[in-house]
Amino acid sequence: KAGVTQTPRYLIKTRGQQVTLSCSPISGHRSVSWYQQTPGQGLQFLFEYFSETQRNKGNFPGRFSGRQFSNSRSEMNVSTLELGDSALYLCASRRLAGGFTGELFFGEGSRLTVL
């Protein structure tokens, strides 16, 4: 069974640009969450999508947004990039039927560097 797939794995942008990251969840998983990992803050929750709807949102500015498609694939977008947005962006999926047991399954992440 294929895991969570994130693209691109690495990217470099400059301040003021925007970026779009993509995530394909594990087959059958309908919920997708996004987390930001930085050395100083650890992993912080960005948002969760289920059935193409944002169900939960963390404490990030409106420059961070996302969406989910009917096939459960998700994208997140960061506009007007700042240096502090440099981070590893992790996508995670979970199943919602058949007894959810609490764990999220993470992809390998997209490493964003803002210059």
Give 9 or 15: the residue with its C-beta nearer to other proteins: 9
| Binding of other proteins by 59 (CB under 8 A) | no
Q: For residue 49, which of 62, 36, 68, 22 has the smallest C-alpha distance? A: 68
Instruction: Give the nearest distance from C-beta 5 to other proteins in angstroms.
Output: 11
Torsion, Cα of 114, 44, 98, 1 (10° steps): 30
Which of 11, 50, 73, 75 lies at the binding interface for other proteins (CB under 8 A)?
50
| Binding of other proteins by 4 (CB under 8 A) | yes
CA distances from 111 to 52, 64, 84, 88, 114 (A): 25, 16, 13, 4, 10
Binding site for other proteins (CB under 8 A): 4, 6, 31, 33, 35, 41-45, 48, 50, 55-56, 58, 90, 92, 94, 96, 100-109, 111
